[in-house]
Amino acid sequence: MALRSLTGFDVVLRRLSGLFNERAIRLAFLGGAVRASENQFRNLHDMVRDAAYILDLPEVPEIYVQQSPQPNAMAIGSDHPFIVVNTGLLDLHDDEELRFIVAHEVGHILSGHAVYQTMMMILTRLGARLAWLPLGNIGIAAIIMGLQEWFRKAELSADRAGLLGGQDLDAAKRTMMKMAGGTRLSEMNTEAFLAQAREYDAAGDVRDGFLKFLNLLNLTHPYPVVRFAEIDRWAKSGEYERILAGDYPRREDDANASFSEEIRNAANAYRESWSQTADPFIGKVRDIAEGAASAASGLLDRVTRRGNGNTD
């Protein structure tokens, strides 16, 4: 939110998103999908309205249903973001799980993630068109990789919004289990699935950690076990209950947001996520990063002292 308070940031963001012709994308779904309303997919229409109200999103986004067996949903657009839900997702989940998913997508819109989802979608298509050129899509591929890593983190934030919107932790957990194992919930167990998540986090040695990193390179979402464990941890941390009780930052405070403070908060969030993992590869990366940060901090201190006329 602090980024949006920087002079010119909104202008740059709108210029970039304008390159992707949001109106053309919306028209494609208007012509090739079904828009939920009071007369079509009424349950989804009510869910997105309720989620917008609970999460305090000023404008209720449109929601479209498109025929695809792939269980997926996404929020795209910038000026007027909208939600697209595949029929495969509707076939996989019950209404309470769908309520979590719809609120998850509303969370993306509320957090400003939809424009980056749109950028990634367009860049992916552009990269495919340039694949025939020597080195034609290497730069685009690098951008997409960066966006995918950012979006994997954003998915965890949107899961929290989904839980706040649906306010049903069991439904959120069932959603993740179905994404991993399908509809046969009677064959699955939440405690065993959580144990599986812990095993995945700590599995093997540094080599296994590196292989997990490689497996994620082309994914926009963390694995379901990771999302399951994270939503379970957050729900038990006390922050979820605190927000439900009304203790959270208000939108009117956005204008006073400090850019440097937000950068520190982001760094602390990454540091916290690193400290919580048992992954040996992440542990090595953390040690290297902390060593580099300490060296940089010492160098900065020396430069500052010299600039102030102090010497050792």
Q: Which of 251, 289, 253, 254 is nearest to 270 (CA)?
A: 289
Q: Is 262 a catalytic residue?
A: no
Q: Distance of CA 217 to CAs 165, 207, 212, 266, 267, Å?
A: 30, 16, 9, 22, 22
Rounded Cα distance between 287 and 290, Å, is 5
Helix, strand, coil share (%) of the chain residues, nearest 5: 70, 5, 25
Q: Distance of CA 296 to CAs 91, 145, 266, 284, 310, Å?
A: 52, 26, 19, 18, 19
Tokens of 164: 């706040």
254 DSSP 8-state letter:
G
**How many CB atoms sit inside 10 A of residue 62's CB?**
19
Q: Give the pairing of strands 82-86 and 63-66.
A: parallel
The active-site residue, picked from 97, 105, 155, 230, is 105
Specify which residues 85 forms β-bridges with: 65, 73
Rounded Cα distance between 103 and 50, Å, is 9
Give the DSSP H/E element, type plus range, for residue 38. Answer: none
Rounded Cα distance between 178 and 201, Å, is 20
Residues labelled catalytic:
105
